[in-house]
């Protein structure tokens, strides 16, 4: 167990830190972890906001749960880590979760959390609508919310997925950078990357910015059925519900520190950002 924890911490510090400063912050947070600590793997999307909130403002502690939220680079990393048992649970796109469970029930979903999505293109291309995407290159990822969003929006323009090319780019920060540097014709982004792209001048091709919502699921391995696991699952749901109650009551202002420190958003992006409406987890 000690060896696994050490290897996990090393992996997380390598994957989750986009800069030296961020690496230092992550190291400081994990210097006093117990072997009883459970890890939740997430990408830095707004679907994960309630978990960051629960960690920062003590909702996990109120449920007597030792829990740390760790950032992983992509859906593939999140699914691989939870299937290997390196982390306790991961936030997975519904299509990713469903694909993994096609052959065998490897994972169990314990709650759903939503996000807003859209398609953007570089301003220099001067694309005006979804119809202009025919024959273009759209950065996306198979078996994910990205793929489903792209297909649904293309269908609105009477386009098929075979009318465009889909390079497989799983990391949202990479996709955002590719739009900034005119390396692809368009990409599919969740929040807050969508608002970041718009603040940097990208063109929104979706009909409306916050109109397309997709769910992620907090999933853990099906074999986790012990009494301790049942207590952990109940505590996770209660902490999540407490976090979303606070966010709903206080609004975006209560998340400013998280949006700045965790998501590294600037003031302009935060002002334009619209939070999703998080549903309660069933107890």
Residue range 95-148, pLDDT digits in tens = 999 998 887 778 999 999 999 999 999 998 889 899 999 999 999 999 999 999
Using pLDDT thresholds of 50, 70 and 90, give the confidence band for residue 208.
Answer: low
Q: Say whether pLDDT at 219 is over 60.
A: yes
pLDDT tens, position by position, 9-61: 444 444 444 444 444 444 344 334 567 899 999 999 999 999 999 999 999 99
**CA pair distance 12, 58, nearest whole angstrom:** 22
- pTM, two decimals, is 0.86
Map residue 110 onto helix, strand or coil: strand
Q: Say whether pLDDT at 256 is over 90.
A: yes
- Min mean pLDDT across 92-106, 140-154, 173-187 is at 92-106
Phi, psi of 249 (to 5 degrees): -75, -40
**CA pair distance 91, 219, nearest whole angstrom:** 6
Map residue 116 onto helix, strand or coil: strand
Which domains are delineated in the chain?
Answer: 2-115+215-272 (3.40.190.10), 118-213 (3.40.190.10)
Tell which residue, 142, 132, 136, 22, has the closest CA to residue 74. Answer: 142
Which CB contacts under 8 angstroms, 24+ apart, belong to 257-264?
257/56, 258/49, 258/52, 258/53, 258/56, 259/192, 261/25, 262/44, 262/52, 263/44, 263/192, 264/18, 264/22
Q: How many CB atoms lie within 10 A of CB 73?
A: 18
Pair type for strands 67-71 and 38-42: parallel
Are the beta carbons of 276 and 190 closer than 8 angstroms?
Answer: no
Scored b (16 or more CB within 10 A) or e, 126-157 reads ebeebebbeebbbbbbebbbbbbbbbebbeee
């Amino acid at each position: 167990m000690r060896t696994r924890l050490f290897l996990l911490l090393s992996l997380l510090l390598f994957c989750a830190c986009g800069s030296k400063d961020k690496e230092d912050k992550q190291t400081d947070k994990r210097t006093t972890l117990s072997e009883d600590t459970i890890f939740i793997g997430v990408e830095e999307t707004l679907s994960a906001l309630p978990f960051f909130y629960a960690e920062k403002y003590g909702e996990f502690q109120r449920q007597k749960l030792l829990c740390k939220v760790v950032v992983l680079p992509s859906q593939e990393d999140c699914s691989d880590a939870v299937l290997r048992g390196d982390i306790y649970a991961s936030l997975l796109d519904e299509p990713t979760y469903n694909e993994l469970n096609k052959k065998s029930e490897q994972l169990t979903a314990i709650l759903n959390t939503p996000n807003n999505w859209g398609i953007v293109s570089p301003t220099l291309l001067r694309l005006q609508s979804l119809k202009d995407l025919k024959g273009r290159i759209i950065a996306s990822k198979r078996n994910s919310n990205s793929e489903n969003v792209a297909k649904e929006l293309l269908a609105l323009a009477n386009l098929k997925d075979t009318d465009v090319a889909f390079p497989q780019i799983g990391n949202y920060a990479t996709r955002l950078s590719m739009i900034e540097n005119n390396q692809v014709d368009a990409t599919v982004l969740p929040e807050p990357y969508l608002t970041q792209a718009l603040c940097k001048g990208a063109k929104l091709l979706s009909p409306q910015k916050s109109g397309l919502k997709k769910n992620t699921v907090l999933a853990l391995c099906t074999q986790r059925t012990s009494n301790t696991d049942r207590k952990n699952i109940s505590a996770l749901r209660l902490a999540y519900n407490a976090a979303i109650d606070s966010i709903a009551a206080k609004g975006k202002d209560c998340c400013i520190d998280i949006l700045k420190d965790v998501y590294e958003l600037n003031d302009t992006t935060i002002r334009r950002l619209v939070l999703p409406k998080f549903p309660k987890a069933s107890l």
